[in-house]
Amino acid sequence: MRRTRALWAACLLLLAAPASAAEPTTVFAAASLKNALDEAGKAFAAESGIPVRASYAASSALARQIEQGAPADLFASADLEWMDYLAARKLIRPETRVNLLANRLVVVAPKDARVTEATFTPDWFSRTLGPDGRLATGEVNSVPIGKYAKAAFETLGLWAQVQPRLAQADNVRAALALVSRGEAPLGVVYESDARSDPGVKVVGVFPEGSHPPVVYPFAVTAEAKGDGGARFLAYLRSKAARRFFEAQGFTMIGEGASQ
**Beta strand 186-190 pairing with 135-138:** parallel
**3-state secondary structure (DSSP) of residue 20:** coil
- Say if CB 176 and CB 35 are below 8 A apart: no
**3-state secondary structure (DSSP) of residue 103:** strand
- For 91-101, the pLDDT digits (tens) are 999 999 999 99
43, containing H or E segment: helix 34-48
Distance between first and last Cα of the chain? 61
Sheet holding 135-138, edge to edge: 166-169, 135-138, 186-190, 105-110, 200-205
Beta-carbon count within 10 A of 207 CB: 12
Single pTM value for the model? 0.87
CA distances from 43 to 12, 61, 62, 208 (A): 33, 27, 24, 34
Residues of the chain with pLDDT under 70: 1-21, 254-259
pLDDT at site 192:
95
Q: Round to whole Å and give the CA distance between 250 and 141.
A: 24
pLDDT at site 18:
39
Q: Round to whole Å and give the CA distance between 199 and 176.
A: 9
pLDDT at site 21:
59
